[in-house]
Structure 1
Amino acid sequence: MTDNVNHPAHYETGKFECIEVMLETQGVEAVLNFCQCNAFKYLYRAKRKNGLEDMKKAVWYLNKYIELKEGHNYDETTVGEMAGSQTE
């Protein structure tokens, strides 16, 4: 069953999801900003496009923002170290 909110197939390539690659290449601050803007976008259009699904997507981006801010999976040091280790 396709999960268009938590794991949309169009954002997966191989074993990585787009948001993970964004963290690796753009850094935590950029992804935090992206999550905040995307949550706003989904809330803004929900009544005119996908309704409940867009509301769930907004929640997903807000939860990802909180997760990153609280450092559950990534912190700026870890992401910086990962990016630096690939260039050495």
Structure 2
Amino acid sequence: MFTRIRKLISKRNGNQDVYIEQMSREGTIPFNKEETMKLYHVETEEDYDALMLELEEEGCVWGYTGNKPTKDGHWYIFKGDTVIDKYDIYLGVASKGYCEKVYLNIPIQKYKTRKDKIKEDVEYFSKCNEQIMESVYEFIHQDNNDIVNNPSHYTSGGIETLDYIKAKVKDYPSYAAGNILKYVSRYEYKNGIEDLKKAQFYLNDLIEWMESK
């Protein structure tokens, strides 16, 4: 079915924007149905590989070869400027500049691997919830007998601090995962087993929270 590749090249301000279009004997796959098309921008080869695995699990194929996403490697074409377009189960690859000019009504989603997403969550919650975290640390260090798991450390004036955080934070799983990652990554050079216990506390609380949903 898939027999050829057509490259569309446009020049503006001395720059080339290239798109490898999906072609078949039946003609070009229609690209005017913007409501069903998705565009994914990948900035690293690791992000590209992760996206290909995810799209392959969804049953997608390259529109111009019919091959599975992981079989044809296209990262080298545009590298950090790579955008993958998905229409139904068919995939194409283009430059970000091309997509910004042609698909004006389609948002370009920045795709990140799960590892990058967790890192962003840690940075986000470290910044947005700094004051809340300082309050939690104050409660944690009030009693040296049980620095991690004593519920009194998380209570002030009858208000459960973690319950307060859960009520205020929109994405508690990411908040908890961020704390788990933070404590595990720093335990060797900061607070040792104390940090591991804190990570364990947030892990257990996250499991309990998810099981209650």
Question: TM exceeds 0.5?
Answer: yes
1:5 & 1:37 partners in 2: Cα distance?
17
Work out which of the residue numbers 167, 178, 186 in structure 2 matches 1:24: 167
Query: Over aligned residues, Cα RMSD in angstroms?
Result: 1.9
- Deviation per CA, 1:28-64, whole angstroms, max 9, x where unpaired? xx21111110010000110111101111110111111
The TM-score with structure 1 as length reference comes to: 0.67
Structure 1 or 2: larger helix share?
1
Identity of aligned residues (%): 35
1:37 & 1:22 partners in 2: Cα distance?
14
Could you list the runs of 5+ residues in structure 2 that have no partner in the other structure? 1-142
Alignment of 1:36 with 2:181, yes or no, is no
2:184 & 2:202 partners in 1: Cα distance?
11
Partner of 1:79: none
Number of equivalenced pairs: 69
Larger radius of gyration: 2
Work out which of the residue numbers 196, 205, 208 in structure 2 matches 1:55: 196
Residue 14 of structure 1 deviates from its aligned partner by 1.1
Work out which of the residue numbers 179, 186, 195 in structure 2 matches 1:45: 186
- 2:197 is paired with a residue whose SS is helix
User: Which structure is richer in relative contact order (CA contacts within 8 A, separation 6 or more)?
Assistant: 1
Residue 66 of structure 1 deviates from its aligned partner by 0.6
- The ranges of structure 1 where at least 4 consecutive aligned residues each deviate by more than 6 angstroms after the TM superposition are none
The TM-score with structure 2 as length reference comes to: 0.30
- Deviation per CA, 1:54-81, whole angstroms, max 9, x where unpaired? 111101111111111100xxx4xxxxxx
The 1:12–1:60 alpha-carbon spacing in structure 2 relative to 1, beyond 3 Å, is same
